[in-house]
Amino acid sequence: MKKQILFVHSAGAQGPQQGSSELIEYLQDQLSDTYHLISPKMPNPENPEYARWKNALTNIFANLEEDEVMLIGHSLGGSVLLKYLSEMDVKPVVSSLFLIASPYWGKDEDWQVKEFTLTENFKSNLPHISNIYLYHGKDDKVVPVTHINHYTNKFPQAITRVFEREDHYFSNGIPDLISDIRG
């Protein structure tokens, strides 16, 4: 049976060549041989609300078929996954967490949205996750690359990858992500 990966997309439109769509296509193309990529459309991504995404994630986790899952969150999807994991008792086991260009809410002046902000002690409420990976592009015009520093402060054991010429959407894919998943 193929290993399962749950991908939670970014905020904003999610049609062809929008939002996380090209990154999802890239992952499906690169991983379809041995992984089952689950990439549901989250509720109202153009005007996301944490409560609605939380409810959707509860239903998604309840319907996962395996005892273990890898999680990938792109942009808002990453910060929502972290918040969800710190608030809920999650089954199945999360073997790896990959956060791509995820905003860290509540630290920087322009990123003060209470419903997405992690609690101060969120890390102590997370389930055990063996592997955490952080990815960001220096040319990201949506979420400044400085946000990755907030995550590395919370997760010093995380493998961190900052790319020179990548924007927010990673439309051409992330070869290091494929290697990290397979590794």
* pTM exceeds 0.95: yes
Tens digits of residue pLDDT in 45-86? 999 999 999 999 999 999 998 899 999 999 999 999 999 999
Tens digits of residue pLDDT in 112-162? 999 999 999 999 999 999 999 999 999 999 999 999 999 999 999 999 999
pLDDT the model gives residue 55: 98
Mean pLDDT in residue range 159-179: 96
What is d(CA 128, CA 130) in angstroms, rounded to the nearest whole number? Answer: 6
- Topology, domain 3-182: Rossmann fold (3.40.50)
Residue boundaries of the structural domains of the chain = 3-182
Element spanning 134, H or E: strand 131-137
Q: Which DSSP string corresponds to 57-114?
A: HHHHHHT--SSEEEEEEETHHHHHHHHHHHHS---SEEEEEEEES---TTTSTT---G
User: Of 109, 108, 110, 48, whose CA–CA distance to 73 is shortest?
Assistant: 48
Element spanning 161, H or E: strand 159-163
Give SS3 for 21: helix
| Other C-beta atoms lying within 10 Å of the C-beta of residue 80 | 25
